[in-house]
Amino acid sequence: MPNKELLLVPGPTPVVDEIYEALSRETMSHTDLRFAEIFSEALSITKKMFNTDGEVFVIAGSGTLSMEMALVNTVAPGEKILIVSHGYFGDRFIGVCNALGIQAEALAAEWGKQVSPALIEEKLQEGGYKAVTVTHVDTSTGVMANLDELVPVVKKYGALFILDGVCASAGLEEDMNKEYGGKDYKIDVVLTASQKAIGVPPGLAIVAFGPKALEARRKMKKVASYYADILNWSHIMKEPFKYFATHPINMIYGYAEAMKIIEAEGFAARYRRHTAIGKSIRAALRIFGMTFLAKEEVSAPTLSCILYPQGVDDTEFRSSLAKKGLIVAGALGPLTGKGFRLGHMGNTTTEQFSNAIRVIGETLREQGLNVDSEQAVKVFQQVFADHN
Ligand SMILES: Cc1ncc(COP(=O)(O)O)c(C=O)c1O
């Protein structure tokens, strides 16, 4: 089933034929041993991707469920958490905490910027924070968090490091066994979803718990959720033919295929490709006079929040792209109407981006701008080759 449109929103991302084919395979029973084998292999690649000695959970749901799952299993009602927010999705943790009765304090950066590690340290010095949430890439702003700076600060104060990888996992390294500047200074939880750099349609909540996060759950007698309690899923993920709740069988077929594609590409090669795509797409769009909300040093490999040059009408621009088969997303919050967001992650190709650049150039010319698409494509290809 070839895609008719080029879906370059920041998730869902284009689904490749192998994954569509897997999704449409005949549905088996959720207790079938053949299904369990497919699921177990997918879980084992997921563990490798996050390089964790802990446990991974893949259940029906979206990224918001995985955010909730990460918190409900590690932080009890009444306990304190620090939220490091680089935009709309960082802020979403406040809502999750409110629903769960967790005391949330948030440090929010101006949109397009990062929260300074010094501010985080100042806050953690107050003491009593059980965990800190960090959004690896905030999909509203295109800002990437700097794990090299943030993990050591958080771990120095003994808090759990909870990473929202919804717009990052499989596009940026999230290595839960990596020590960030100190013994056992590691990421404790990565939560994510299927529809972005993993390249599967929306529908799966994916969460990896490291040993310290698992210990935190074991120390809590009960948690305020039945479906999201990892203790209800732990034995199921080891023996997926067992029943707790019915698995989303066809989504797991698709996910298993995606994990094979990711492993075959190689984790490091895939992260390098994403970095190169991010840099090269931004370099190309600069040729068109576009600017970016985030500075290049903090810009994500997976999506960009792009600001229009003068004279571009947002609604006309995006609907004209859509008529040509290219779908992008509007900017959010204070930036609505001033720019657009372009996803550049998952199982996408340089050919697709070269085409997207040409379509964007053509649309800008329709709006009266004098831009050179072929020059922009050339820059894209050159910068990609330099970084891949
Ligand atoms: C960084 C981030 N976190 C969480 C979410 C919530 O995920 P979902 O919409 O799948 O519930 C999103 C959604 O785009 C996201 O980009």
> What are residue 143's phi and psi, to 5 degrees?
-85, 135
Query: Is residue 193 in contact with ligand 1, taking CB distance under 6 Å?
Result: yes
| The two structure tokens encoding residue 263 | 């492993």
Distance 141 CA to ligand 1 centre (A): 13
- Using alpha carbons, list the distances in angstroms from residue 362 to 9, 232, 367, 368, 377: 19, 53, 9, 10, 12
Q: Which whole-number Å values give the CA distances from 64 to 35, 241, 367, in the listed order?
A: 26, 26, 38
Ligand 1 center to 32 CA (angstroms): 31
Ligand 1 pocket member 166 (CB < 6 A):
yes
Q: How far apart are CA 143 and CA 113, in angstroms?
A: 7
pLDDT on residue 209: 98
Cβ–Cβ < 8 Å for 173, 187:
no
End-to-end CA distance of the chain: 29
Tokens 């990888």, residue?
165
Cβ of 62 closer than 6 Å to ligand 1, yes or no, is: yes
List, in order of start, the domains of the chain with CATH numbers: 17-265 (3.40.640.10), 267-387 (3.90.1150.10)
Query: So what's the pLDDT on residue 1?
Result: 57
59 Cα to the center of ligand 1, angstroms: 15
pLDDT at 2: 62
Residue to substitute in 166, 167, 194, 302 for testing ligand 1 pocket (most ligand atoms within 8 angstroms of CB): 166
| CA 382–ligand 1 middle distance (angstroms) | 32
**237-284 pLDDT per residue, tens:** 999 999 999 999 999 999 999 999 999 999 999 999 999 999 999 999
Q: Distance from the CA of 275 to the center of ligand 1, in angstroms?
A: 21
Per-residue pLDDT of the chain (388 residues; tens, 9 = 90+): 567 999 999 999 999 999 999 999 999 999 999 999 999 999 999 999 999 999 999 999 999 999 999 999 999 999 999 999 999 999 999 999 999 999 999 999 999 999 999 999 999 999 999 999 999 999 999 999 999 999 999 999 999 999 999 999 999 999 999 999 999 999 999 999 999 999 999 999 999 999 999 999 999 999 999 999 999 999 999 999 999 999 999 999 999 999 999 999 999 999 999 999 999 999 999 999 999 999 999 999 999 999 999 999 999 999 999 999 999 999 999 999 999 999 999 999 999 999 999 999 999 999 999 999 999 999 999 999 999 9
pLDDT on residue 59: 98
Strand segments, DSSP code E, in 113-227 are: 129-135, 137-138, 143-144, 160-164, 189-193, 204-209
Distance CA 281, CA 383 (A): 9
Q: Residue 3 has what pLDDT?
A: 77
Look at ligand 1, atom 14, and give the residue with the nearest C-alpha: 139
Calculate how far, in angstroms, residue 365's C-alpha sits from the geometric centre of ligand 1: 34
What is the CB neighbour count within 10 angstroms for residue 218? 11
Integer-rounded Cα radius of gyration of the chain:
21
**Selection from 371, 357, 372, 380 nearest residue 312 by Cα:** 371
